[in-house]
Amino acid sequence: MKITTLAVAGSVLALALTGCVAGESGTSAQPGAQGGEGGSVKVGIKFDQPGLGQKVGDTYKGFDVDVAKYVAKELGYDPAKIQWVETPSATRETAIQGGQVDMILATYSITDERKKKVDFAGPYYIAGQDLLVRADNTDITGPQSLNGKKVCSVAGSTSAKKIKDQYAQGAQLQDYDTYSKCVEAVMSGAMDVVSTDDTILAGYAAQDQYKGKLKVVGNPFSEEKYGVGIKKGDTEMCTKINAAIKKMIDDGSWQKALDDNLGPAGFKPNTKLNPPTPAGNCGA
């Protein structure tokens, strides 16, 4: 009852804001309009990033998962009914555009290039690109020491793009489709280093099978603003997600989710940048 009232209020608000109903109702895959009512929502996450988005048996764990559950609840969905969809880096924009997912929380950086295809609420976290090497490595200390090194990253990521754009001359970049495969390749010696967000790398380094064998260099060289990717033009949903993130930060759930999921890996968030202000680019 309460949820229905909210949904109606939301529609009226949208109507008032846009002065136009066309496209606001009746279209499918508009969770913002259909929230509540016991419906389910499709959320894109990573399945292989411990601490962030990980499928363990039939359960889903990680900071992205906890933020997604909180946001879904605020939008009127039952978090237990979320349909989790695996969205590797290179598939994210098309998964949103094609309606395979309603929103994506998958260590997904807000960028101008991506904003041409999708919208972002958030940010809900700011990470930094870093490097992961074998524990006995001493010559890789930052992006400037990648000359002649075999660098593994993932297709469609900002991490691969940065290496390509700024360190391409010296580094031999290989694009894999997931970071977990990159980590395997560094363990086997096929690759020298994995480059992506410090959050992701910390999660791998803390895995039982890698403990003491891998280390994060700890010299971040970018700002990765994690956004909630949604369909372009859904200003109403974007605004609601921003409000949900703000609430999550204010009531302590955000800090708890971070501690629960990345604390065990000994990961220390950059407190100069976090928690961020979820200003979003809703409608921009």
Residues in contact with ligand GLU by CB under 6 A are 89, 106-109, 154, 157-159, 196-197, 224
Q: Which residue has the tokens 């204010």?
A: 250
Q: Find the shortest distance in angstroms from Cβ 224 to ligand GLU.
A: 4
Of the pair 35, 123, the CB lying nearest ligand GLU is at 123
Q: Find the shortest distance in angstroms from Cβ 8 to ligand GLU.
A: 36
Of the pair 49, 235, the CB lying nearest ligand GLU is at 49
Distance CA 219, CA 196 (A): 12
Of the pair 36, 51, the CB lying nearest ligand GLU is at 51
DSSP label at residue 76: T
Distance CA 105, CA 82 (A): 13
What is the rounded end-to-end Cα distance, in angstroms, of the chain? 33
Q: Is the dihedral of CA 207, 213, 219, 224 positive or negative?
A: negative
Q: Find the shortest distance in angstroms from Cβ 131 to ligand GLU.
A: 13
Q: Find the shortest distance in angstroms from Cβ 226 to ligand GLU.
A: 7
What residue number has its CB nearest to ligand GLU? Answer: 157
Of the pair 178, 242, the CB lying nearest ligand GLU is at 178
Distance CA 76, CA 146 (A): 47
**Could you tell me the strand order of the sheet in which 103-104 lies?**
83-86, 42-45, 103-104, 224-231, 118-127
Torsional class of 89: left (φ above 0), alpha (ψ -120 to 50), beta (otherwise): alpha
Of the pair 54, 107, the CB lying nearest ligand GLU is at 107
Q: Find the shortest distance in angstroms from Cβ 89 to ligand GLU.
A: 4
